[in-house]
Each structure stands twice: as C-alpha cells, then as structure tokens.
Structure 1
Amino acid sequence: MATLKVGLVSPEREIWSGEAKMVVAQTVEGQLGIMPGHAPVLGVLLDGSVVKVEPADGGEWISAMVGSGFFSIAGDEVSVLAEHAELGTDVDVAAARHDLEAARAGGEEDSTAERRARARLRAAGQEA
C-alpha cells in the first residue's frame, strides 16, 4: 500500500514526521484531504487551524494546532511548515482555556489569539 512521507515542522523544532495514509489540512481556500498519488500543490494554512494525520501503522490520528504557514505536496511527500505548531497531546488544556478566555475578554472578535486557543483545544480533543 502506498503511503505519504509527512513532515510537520515549526521554526523551533520538528513536530512530527513519519509515514501516513492521509493528511487533512485547513487552507485559506478550504479543507484539503491528501492521500498518496495527490497532485502537486502548494497551499497556505489557515492560521489557527488543525492538521490531522492518519499514521500508516494504523495508530490513532495525530492532531496538531498550526499557526500561519504553508504546506507542499510533491510526489508522495507532504511538508507542513507552520510559524507555530503544537501536537494535541502536548497541549496544556487549562492554559489553552485560559488563553481563550483572555482573548475573548480582549474584545476583538475572531482574533488570532482566539483562533489559536480554539485550535489548541480542538487538537487536544476538547470543545472550544
């Protein structure tokens, strides 16, 4: 079975890399599902969205919050390059809820801080 070689990185570190069956990313133009054999694409990630990866080994889906950035698909390689990224398993849920409340209290509707706090909670499997 064909797989994708996936790399999810931020300027600080590699967040996740490995073989995958599928990647789902939210772009500024809509959601994109990527499977082996996908046409080459260069896209812009929606700031404050969640990227999901279905590992090739059949393990649980990996979810990560991503800030602004882009992704590329070339052959069966997917690169997700985010200005900020955090695996759902690494999210401090209490801190993310606090950040969401602070962003809401700031009065600016749909601010970057609010979108990112919501995405952190979604990546962690929590309701935002």
Structure 2
Amino acid sequence: MDQHLTVNIVTPSGVVYDHHAKIVVVKTVDGEMGILPHHAPIIAPLIIDEVRVNRIDSETHVDWIAVNGGIMEVRDNVVTIIADSAEREREIDIARAQRAKERAERMIAEAKAHDNVDELSRATVALHRALNRINVSNHL
C-alpha cells in the first residue's frame, strides 16, 4: 500500500497544486487537521487559511498554499481541495496583496462609520483573504 498522499488543489481556474506528500495540514471550521497516509475518508469545510504540504521528495521541503475556504475530501490516500481561489507562496504578488489589505481596511472603516453590517462583513472577509496571502508569501 502507498505510504504517501496525492494532493490536488483545484479552483474554477484549474489545478493549482498536484504533488505527493507525507502530510497535509489544513484548517477546518472545527480546527486544525493533519492528514497522513491511510487517513479515514472524510469531507470537511475549510476556512480561509494556509495549507501546509510536506512533500515526499524532500526531508525539509514544505509547500504553502493560500486557500480561500472550500471543501476538502480525503479518500484512498488522495486529498482533494476544491476552493474558489488558491495560490502557492511563490505565485503571490505581495504588493497586490498589500494593496488589497489596505483597501479592505478602508472599507471596514467606512462600513463602521455608516453602520453597514453587510459591507463590514464583506470587507472583513476581504481583509482576511489579503492577510492570508501575505502570511503565505512570508514562507518563501
């Protein structure tokens, strides 16, 4: 039996990540979860956060992927993550992420000033996404 996982991260734009791994660490709505080979089948909703993949081709190599929520399925040593968007650490435009963070912070201030709960909620999600991208890019 295989002693590794196949990890696939897919967005509407296509496959973002496809490698073999020793372990995958994700953040679900119920907390952090580590997936090892031979994990029981599971489907879990993910929050906006980073996904850590320890690849089998290196003792020290770790891939980091910024995932904006989604669903993870584990079955037969295959971890599949389906997300609206995802970016590997090396693909993140840090300047763009910083601008998105600043824009979200301005939107939050405006929404609070106008007591607009819907706008505040959208701006908070945008800020969380931008911070996630910045945090993942810092792993380079």
Report the TM-score, using the length of structure 2 for normalisation: 0.84
What is the rounded CA distance, in whole Å, between the counterparts of 1:63 and 1:9 in structure 2?
15
2:80 is matched with 79
Task: State how 1:45-124 maps to structure 2 within 5 Å.
Answer: 45-46=46-47, 48-58=48-58, 60-107=61-108, 108=120, 111-124=124-137
C-alpha offsets along residues 36-78 of structure 1, whole Å, 9 cap, x if unaligned? 11111100010x2111111110162111111121000012110
Higher helix share: 2
Structure of larger gyration radius: 2
Q: Secondary structure of 2:37's match?
A: coil
CA RMSD of aligned residues (A): 1.6
Identity %: 29
Name the CA distance, whole Å, in 2 between partners of 1:41 and 1:51.
Answer: 17
- Counterpart position of 2:45: 44
Q: Structure 1 runs of 4+ off > 2 angstroms? A: none
Give the distance between the partners of 1:8 and 1:102, measured in 2 at CA: 28
Contiguous gaps of at least 5 residues in structure 1: none
Q: Secondary structure of the equivalent of 2:73? A: strand
Per-residue deviation, residues 12-31 of structure 1 (Å, max 9, x unmatched) = 01111011001011111111
Measure the CA separation in 1 of the matches of 2:100 and 2:134. 10
Q: Which amino acid aligns with 1:98?
A: R
Using structure 1 for the length normalisation, give the TM-score: 0.91
Deviates more, 1:114-123 or 1:56-65: 56-65
